[in-house]
Amino acid sequence: MQTKVRIARQFSQAAHCYDQLAEVQWQIGVDAVSQVTPTSGMLLDIGSGTGRISALLADKSGQVIGLDLAEGMARFASRTQPNKVGFLVGDADNLPFADNVFDYVFSCMALQWCQPISQAFSEVARVMKPGAKGLLAMMVQGSLQELHRCWQAVGQPAHVNHFLSLETLEQAAKQVGLSWQVQTRLYQTWHTSLRDALHSIKDIGAGVVLNPTRSPLSKAVIQAVERRYFENYQQQGLVPVSYQVAFMEIQK
Ligand SMILES: C[S@@+](CC[C@H](N)C(=O)[O-])C[C@H]1O[C@@H](n2cnc3c(N)ncnc32)[C@H](O)[C@@H]1O
């Protein structure tokens, strides 16, 4: 099945439980919104999910449009945030809008799903009005690093996604004529087992691996990874999942 169809399907299926489970994503979203410059104009929220962050953005702009690849997410958001925001189904890589229409473009924890990132950045730049600003928050290199290292230590490719470096993102932004300023912040969640750690990713719909390998996930491999995970990262009986998040302030 095509990767985007799988991403949309998994997030759609998670829509009803996303807000209860995605606590760290809420914290990241609140931090991202705090960096948004208020505008009286139109704001686009790309990858709006359940719409809880879009609703916060409504207090900082004239009008908000939330757009998400997952129909189930857009439907859930329309039902739970009916007054403040208009929600649409659409793809960040092919935005369903004319050129130069938005005063502000926002996205939080969504653009790491877009490959190559240059396509999504080019679309962001295209729909921004000249002089418009934006805030793009996304996972970057360093995210899920404990899991990557443990899998590597047992000679296996990790069964979680890789994330882009800041250099790659900066280059992509500059290539489409966006000015760029970035800050990063590390967020961590703590878990009682490898299984619990992986479920914290999968249960919110974020379990699709973008470049999957065919290596089998045997019980022996899982046990070896788990042993490493606890030996190297355990604190008070818990192991971390790291989210290295870049907050990119852009301007066209
Ligand atoms: C981790 S959720 C974040 C939701 C919301 N922004 C928040 O912070 O609560 C990621 C969202 O991005 C959406 N998404 C993934 N790829 C996308 C794409 N190419 N275009 C638009 N949305 C996408 C997913 O469907 C999902 O709802």
* Superfamily classification of domain 3-142+161-188+243-251: Vaccinia Virus protein VP39 (3.40.50.150)
Question: pLDDT below 50 — which residues of the chain?
Answer: none
Tell me the HSE value of 176 on the side-chain side, using a 13 A CA sphere: 23
**Is there an atom of ligand 1 within 6 Å of 73 CB?**
yes
Residue located nearest, by CA, to atom 16 of ligand 1 = 113
CB 38 within 8 A of CB 133: no
pLDDT for 1 equals 65
Distance of CA 68 from the midpoint of ligand 1 (Å): 6
d(CA 137, CA 125): 16
**Is there an atom of ligand 1 within 6 Å of 18 CB?**
no
pLDDT for 215 equals 66
The 3-state secondary structure of 201-212 reads HHCCCCCCCCCC
Return the number of other C-beta atoms located less than 10 Å from residue 184's C-beta. Answer: 13
**Is there an atom of ligand 1 within 6 Å of 10 CB?**
no
**Is there an atom of ligand 1 within 6 Å of 53 CB?**
yes
pLDDT for 210 equals 76
**Is there an atom of ligand 1 within 6 Å of 51 CB?**
no
pLDDT for 44 equals 98
> What tokens does 1 get?
């099945």
**By CB neighbour count within 10 A (0-12 exposed, 13-18 middle, 19+ buried), where does 180 fall?**
middle
Would you kindly state where each structural domain of the chain is located, as residue ranges? 3-142+161-188+243-251
**Is there an atom of ligand 1 within 6 Å of 95 CB?**
no
| Phi/psi at 201 (5° precision) | -85, -50
Q: What is the pLDDT of residues 175-198, one digit of tens each?
A: 999 999 999 999 999 999 999 999
Give the mutation target among 68, 108, 117, 143 for probing the ligand 1 site: most ligand atoms within 8 A of CB.
Answer: 68
